[in-house]
Structure 1
C-alpha cells in the first residue's frame, strides 16, 4: 500500500522538523531534552497538520528510542499493554497517543505508573485545550506545549524538500511547478502542512506528462486539487495584502458591507489565519478604548473561530466584524504607546526616581531607595500626589484621550482630573 506523501515525509530527527522553532530550535526546550536524552512526557496541542506527530517521530528518531503510535479513542487497553511489555523488554518507548483528550479512566490508570517510572515517554497530541479537556492526573505528569500553524515560508520549504527527495518524496518525477502555484499551496491550507503535501502529491500523480516526460503544475491544477480558488493571490502576492488592507480600512471607516465583502474573500480562499490575526489587530488598534468590551468579544469570537474551523468559523467572525464596524473608534492607546516607544528608542529617558526603586533588599534604605514612597492605599480615595516619571520626562504626556465613546470619554475625564491634581496643565 502506498503511504501518503505527508506520512512518508515525516522527519526522523529533530533537525528535519519544519516550523515550531520556539520548541525545537537550537537551545529551545524540546531540542535540549533530545540533546541531553532527558525526555519527559508532554502534551502537544494545536490545529491539525502543524507537526505534532512529526515532533514525536523526530524525538524518537533522534534519541533512537522505539516509537509507537496509538489513538486514545480507538485503541484499547490491550494495545497499551503491548507497548508496556515492549518497554519492559527493550527499554524506553516513545508513545504518541493521538486524541489524548479522549483517554478514558481505565487506560489512564494503566498509563500513570508507566509515566512515573519512565518506561513510557508519552507524547499526547490533541487539538483541544489540555487545560480544559485533559484529566488533571495526566496533565500534572506532563509538560504542555502549544504548536502553532506553520507559516507559508515553513510550508514552502517543506514542499520544495518533498519535490527533491528521491527516497521518500517526489524527486523521481520531473516536476515543473509554477512559483504562483507553490505559493498558493503554501498559503491556502492555513498552516496545515499535511494538506499541502497531500494536495501536491495528488497534483503530481494526476497530471499528464508532456512529450519530454515533464509534469507541469500550474496554479489552476493546485486550485483543483485543493478545491479552493486563489481569490487573494497573484504572481507577487500583492492582491492578498490588498484584500487584508481593504478589510481593515473598511472596518476603520465603519463600512459594514465592505468589511464583510473582504472578509468573505479571505474566507472563500481558506485564509482563516490572516483573517483572525487582522481582526485582533483591528479591534485593539482602531476601536481600542472607545469600546473595550468589543475588543474582548473579538477575542472570544476569534477563539471560537479557531476551535470551529471553516466553514463554521465565519459565524462568530461575522458577529465581531459587524460589531467593530458599528462601534465608536479610537486609536489613542496605540498612539500613546508608540509615543512612549519613540522616546525610549531615541534614548530620551532618565533614571527611575529614588522613591520608586526596589527597596525589598537589605541596605536599600541606606541608598535612599523607596524611602519617600507614598503608598496610595494609605490615602483618601487610594491616591496621593507624587512623581512617577523620571525627572527629565516628568511633564511628558503620551496618552491623548478621545471622546468617541462613552467608555473613553469617562477615561478622558478621569485622566485629565488626575493630571490636574498632579500639577500638570
Structure 2
C-alpha cells in the first residue's frame, strides 16, 4: 500500500498538499535533501517513495544503523551513471562519521538526494554537518479520518491491498482501529492484515472483523510510546506542565502513558523535581509526601507503584504552587556567571588554622547564638553585593507567607542597623 505518487500520500497535507513545500519541490522537479522526523508509522518512507514515483528518479532505501559504507558506495556509483538517485536513509540519527564523510560530497554535487527519516529530534540527535545540508520537516501523527481513509482503500485495493478478500469490517472495529493506533498508519494496516488473514471465513465466505478481533490483533495499541523516542519526552514534558498547571486529570493521563511504557524511573525523577521546582516553599509537606511515594513506588514496583504515584500526582496538582526557590538560585547563578561576585568579608573567612588571626581572618565575627533571638546584624554578602536580593517570596501557601514575613523583618532590621552605621560614620 506504499504510495507511488505524491497524490496518494495519506495525511501530511502541511507538506504534500497543494502549494505546500514538498509538493512545490516535486512539481518544479527541484528536489533538495531533507530530513523527515516524527513518530513511527506516520508516512516518512511513504513520502520518500511518493517523491521518487512522482519524479521518476531512481529510488533506493538503506538503514543508517545496519547498512554499511559499501552499500552507500553502490548507491553513489549508480547516481554517477543515472544522474540522480533518491536515497531514503532510515534511522539517520545513527549515521556514523565515516558514512557521513563519504555521503557529504555527493549531497553537495546533487547526485544523491537524501531523504533521512528519524523518530528523534534532528536538532538534538543529528550531526550539524548533515543538518546544515538538509531541510527539516516534521511529520505528524495521522488523524483518525486519515487512517480510516487508508483502511478503506486497503480493503478495496485488489492489487496491493485486501480487495480480493471478502471482508466485512464493523463500524465499531473500524473506529477502534483508527483511534487505538494513535496516528500510526503502519500499525493500523498491520493489524488489519493480521485480522483478515487469521480470521476464518463464515459459511458465505465472508471474513467478519469485529471489535474483539481488532483488539486482539493490535494488542498494546493506544498510548504506549517508545521509551527512547522523541514523543516519549513530549509526554514527560506534558506530565510536568499539567501538574504545574494544576490539572489533575491531564497529569494522571500522561502518567498513565508513562506507566504503560514501563518508565517508572522517569516518573519518579520527574515527580521529585516537580515537588521542589513547582510546589517548593508553598507546601514543603507535599515535597516530603512525594519522597515517600517515590520510595514506596521503587520498593513495590509496577503495577502496584501506580497507587502511591497517583496519590503524589493528585496532591501536587492541588497544592499551592511556588517557584521562588528555583528562581532564587537561578538568579544567583546568572549573576555569578556575569561576574556578580566579590571577596568574602574578612570576618566571615575561615579562621580555624594557625596564623589566621594574624591575617585578620574571622576578626569581629559575631556569633548569632550569643545574642537575643539568635540574631544580630552583620554583613554577609561581599561589599559589592550589599543590598542585593535574589529571593523574592511568594504568598500562595501559609508556610511561605510566614517565611516572607520573617524575611521582611530580618531585611528591615539589617537595613536599620546598616543605616545607623552609615550615619555614625558620617558624623
Same fold (TM over 0.5): yes
Match of 1:362 in 2: none
8 Å CA contact 2:181, 2:221 repeated in 1 = no
2:57 alignment partner, one of 65, 72, 76: 65
Return closer, same or farther for 1:83/1:275 CA change in 2, 3 Å cut-off.
closer
- CA distance in 2 between partners of 1:67 and 1:326 (Å): 55
Mapped pair 1:325 → 2:317:
no
2:219 maps to what in 1? 227
Q: CA deviation at 1:227?
A: 2.2
Residue of structure 1 in register with 2:119 after alignment? 127
Give the CA deviation at 1:220. Answer: 0.8
Q: CA deviation at 1:402?
A: 9.9
Say yes or no: does 1:54 pair with 2:46.
yes
Check if 1:160 corresponds to 2:149: no
CA separation of 1:40/1:280 partners in 2, compared to 1, >3 Å: closer, same or farther?
farther
The aligned residue for residue 173 of structure 1 is 165
1:316 Cα deviation after fit: 3.7
Tell me, yes or no, if the aligned pair for 2:320 and 2:397 is still in contact at 8 Å: no
Matched, 1:217 2:167: no
The answer on 1:200 being equivalent to 2:192 is yes
Deviations 1:292-350 (A, max 9, x none): xxx9xx7xx97x999x8952346645765745422365999xxxxxxxxxxxxxxxxxx
Matched length? 287
Cα shift at 1:165:
0.6
Question: Aligned to 1:35, which of 27, 32, 38?
Answer: 27
Range with greater deviation from structure 2 (128-137 or 173-182): 128-137
The runs of at least 4 aligned residues of structure 1 exceeding 4 Å deviation read: 272-285, 317-324, 328-332, 401-410
Q: In the alignment, is the contact (CA less than 8 A) between 2:243 and 2:316 conserved in 1? A: no
Taking structure 1 as the reference length, the TM-score comes to 0.59
Query: Are 1:71 and 1:99, in contact at CA under 8 Å, matched by a contact in 2?
Result: yes
Corresponding residue for 1:372? none
2: distance between equivalents of 1:405 and 1:63? 68
The answer to whether residue 36 in structure 2 is matched with residue 86 in structure 1 is no
Distance across 1 between alignment mates of 2:63 and 2:219? 29
How well do the aligned residues superpose, as a CA RMSD in angstroms? 3.9
- Find the aligned partners of 2:263 and 2:396 in 1 and give their Cα distance: 33
Question: Counterparts of 1:87-126 in structure 2 under 5 Å?
Answer: 87-126=79-118
1:183 lines up with 2:211 in the alignment:
no
Partners of 2:79 and 2:85 within 8 A in 1: yes
Distance 2:81 2:126 in 1: 30
Distance in 1 (CA, whole Å) between partners of 2:400 and 2:57 is: 58
Query: Residues 46, 331 of structure 1: CA spacing in aligned structure 2 closer, same or farther, 3 A cutoff?
Result: farther
Normalising to structure 2: TM-score of the pair?
A: 0.59
Listed one character per residue, the Cα deviations across residues 74-97 of structure 1 (whole Å, up to 9, x for unaligned) are 111111111111111111111001
Whole-angstrom CA distance in 1 between matches of 2:221 and 2:103: 46
Structure-2 separation of matches of 1:70 and 1:309: 34
1:149 Cα deviation after fit: 1.8
Correspondence 1:311 to 2:261: yes
- C-alpha change, 1:44 and 1:178, in structure 2 (3 Å) is same
Q: 1:284 to 1:156 in 2, by over 3 A?
A: farther
- CA 121–76 in structure 1, closer or farther in 2 if over 3 Å, else same: same
State how far apart, in whole Å, the 2-side matches of 1:405 and 1:26 are.
58
Structure 1 stretch displaced more, 200-209 or 145-154: 145-154
Residue 12 of structure 2 is aligned to residue 11 of structure 1: no
What's the CA shift for 1:407?
9.1
Structure-to-structure mapping, 1:223-302, within 5 angstroms: 223-228=215-220, 282-283=242-243, 286=246
1:59 positional shift: 0.9
Contact 1:155/1:196, CA 8 A, preserved across alignment: yes
**In 2 relative to 1, CA 61–207 (structure 1 residues): closer, same or farther, beyond 3 Å?**
same
Larger Rg: 2
Q: Select between 162-171 and 42-51 the one with higher mean Cα deviation.
A: 42-51
SS of corresponding position for 1:210: coil
Given that residues 329 and 405 in structure 1 are in contact (C-alpha distance below 8 angstroms), is that contact kept between their aligned partners in structure 2? no
For the 8 Å contact 1:287–1:324, the answer to whether it is kept is no
Residue 190 of structure 1: how far off its partner (Å): 2.1
